């Protein structure tokens, strides 16, 4: 990946592009500062647990750091794009130019830096920098290896230096938020040229990547994968269905949830007023409190509609894709079914946390907590998404997951409140809806077509 590719990626994935520039600059600054905090949190875990290199704990910290470094670099480039300074068009090149001036200058501070670095490293950097500066659009990994030559410490000491300097730089780039009166009273943090500050931030983030044997290109590739899931263009996600009759979900059908009088719920597949099949076994809540979880199967229906994926509903409706042995085994098999159940349980537990919060705050809510704005955070949705890595549903973007959870849990609440009901399913129009049983319901559930 080259610098221009990184800048283009940030522009394409920036959802704030329609806002005023001063708002975008503030968002970018706050985002960068918060992500630097996340980087420091990962470093804290390394210092606290002291894992040996190549131990499992070290790889876990390294994985967390890889994600946080990518987010930090993303916000650094976003902030650069908000600055009215030609140097900000390539903060990587600007930083190499600044280092080159420093290591070839004759000022007192320049001489001190040169002495600390040593003649061998100084000459090696100046030679590498000359090659780097021949072109304006170099690979970001070349920036990393070139800039890293100028490190004055190694290993844990370099890690600690990066942590301390990043804290200072975070305070410096936030300084301009202060009004004049507060600036006069809070003068401990000295002002710094914003492009120079961004260059130093990039240097220290890049140095941390090198300390943990991470390449900037690999770090940004992970950030790109996360951005793809965010799907700012709102492109429709893939549908994971078969074109073969007997293996594909019907375009329209109903699922009836009936209480059988034994505190159990039974589920039936109904089309054109006739019961085609009983789906699964009768369910109880399997819970001491009686939380209505016996109606959770409606989430399988919602997942099928909005994600095009529900190995459990496929099994209930006997629509497994047996024409493809691999799909049948991997995507419609037992492991995928357990995965789906785990995702739904996570959704349910998160909803209970919201409900507890509202109760403790004295807020009365009606219906599903997921109906409230921002209840489905990006990080929560991405955690569910990451659980599904390696399965076909991993290709579905955030918007599909939002709809599946929001609409499915709304129907779950309505089923729970009414102790049953009818879920109408429109696979083509991507809709599900709840209605109560009619008083003259005459469907014979004991007869299957």
Each residue of 146-173: pLDDT tens digit?
A: 999 999 999 999 999 999 999 999 998 8
Nearest-angstrom CA–CA distance, 38 and 201: 14
Share of the chain above pLDDT 90, in %: 73
Q: Give the per-residue pLDDT at 163.
A: 96
pLDDT for 183 equals 65
* pLDDT bucket at 445, cuts 50 / 70 / 90: confident
Confidence tier at 44 by pLDDT (50, 70, 90): very high
Q: What is the pLDDT of residue 446?
A: 82
Section 127-145 average pLDDT: 95
- Paired with 222 in beta bridges are none
pLDDT tens by residue, 63-119: 999 999 999 999 999 999 999 999 999 999 999 999 999 999 988 888 998 999 999
Residue 449 confidence (pLDDT) above 70 = no
**pLDDT tens by residue, 219-261:** 999 999 989 998 877 888 889 998 898 999 999 999 999 998 8
Position 175 scores a pLDDT of 79
With CA atoms as reference, report the closest residue to 94 among 231, 1, 198, 228: 198
Contact, 412 vs 299, CB < 8 A? Answer: yes
- State the chain's mean pLDDT as an integer: 92
Looking at residue 414, its pLDDT comes to 96
Provide, rounded to the nearest whole percent, the portion of the chain with pLDDT above 70.
Answer: 97
User: What confidence score (pLDDT) does residue 185 get?
Assistant: 63
pLDDT of residue 187: 64
């Amino acid at each position: 990946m080259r610098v221009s590719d990184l800048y283009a990626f940030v522009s394409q994935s920036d959802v704030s592009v329609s806002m005023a520039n001063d708002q975008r600059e503030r968002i970018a600054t706050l985002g960068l500062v918060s992500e630097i905090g996340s980087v420091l949190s990962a470093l804290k875990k390394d210092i606290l647990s002291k894992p040996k290199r190549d131990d499992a704990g070290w790889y876990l910290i390294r994985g967390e750091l890889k994600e946080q470094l990518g987010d930090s670099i993303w916000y650094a480039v976003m902030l650069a794009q908000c600055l009215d300074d030609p140097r900000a068009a390539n903060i990587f090149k600007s930083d190499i130019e600044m280092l080159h001036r420093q290591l070839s200058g004759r000022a007192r501070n320049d001489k001190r830096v040169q002495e600390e670095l040593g003649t061998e490293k100084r000459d090696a950097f100046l030679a590498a920098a000359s090659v780097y500066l021949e072109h304006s659009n170099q690979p970001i990994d070349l920036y990393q290896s070139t800039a890293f030559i100028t490190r004055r410490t190694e290993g844990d000491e370099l890690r600690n230096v990066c942590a301390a300097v990043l804290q200072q730089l975070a305070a410096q780039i936030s300084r301009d938020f202060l009004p004049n009166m507060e600036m006069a009273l809070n003068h401990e943090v000295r002002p710094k040229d914003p492009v120079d500050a961004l260059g130093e931030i990039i240097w220290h983030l890049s140095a941390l990547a090198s300390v943990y044997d991470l390449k900037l290109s690999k770090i940004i590739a992970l950030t790109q994968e996360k951005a793809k899931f965010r799907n700012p263009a709102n492109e429709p996600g893939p549908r994971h269905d078969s074109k073969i009759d007997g293996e594909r979900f019907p375009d329209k059908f109903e699922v009836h949830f009936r209480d059988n009088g034994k505190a159990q719920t039974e589920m039936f597949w109904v089309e054109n007023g006739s019961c085609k099949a009983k789906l699964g076994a009768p369910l109880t809540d399997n819970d001491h409190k009686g939380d209505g979880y016996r109606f959770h199967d409606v989430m399988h229906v919602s997942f099928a509609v909005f994600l095009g994926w529900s190995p459990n509903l496929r099994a209930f409706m006997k629509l497994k894709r047996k024409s493809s042995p691999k799909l049948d085994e991997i995507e419609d098999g037992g492991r995928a079914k357990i995965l789906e159940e785990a995702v739904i349980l996570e959704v349910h537990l998160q909803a209970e946390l919201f409900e507890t919060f509202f109760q403790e705050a004295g807020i009365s809510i009606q219906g599903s907590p997921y109906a409230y704005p921002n209840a489905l955070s990006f990080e929560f949705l991405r955690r569910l998404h990451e659980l599904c890595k390696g399965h076909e549903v991993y290709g579905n973007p955030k918007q599909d997951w939002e709809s599946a959870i929001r609409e499915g849990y709304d129907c779950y609440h309505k089923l729970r409140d009414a102790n049953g009901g009818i879920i109408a399913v429109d696979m083509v129009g991507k809709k599900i809806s709840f209605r109560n049983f009619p008083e003259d319901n005459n469907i014979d559930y004991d007869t299957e077509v």
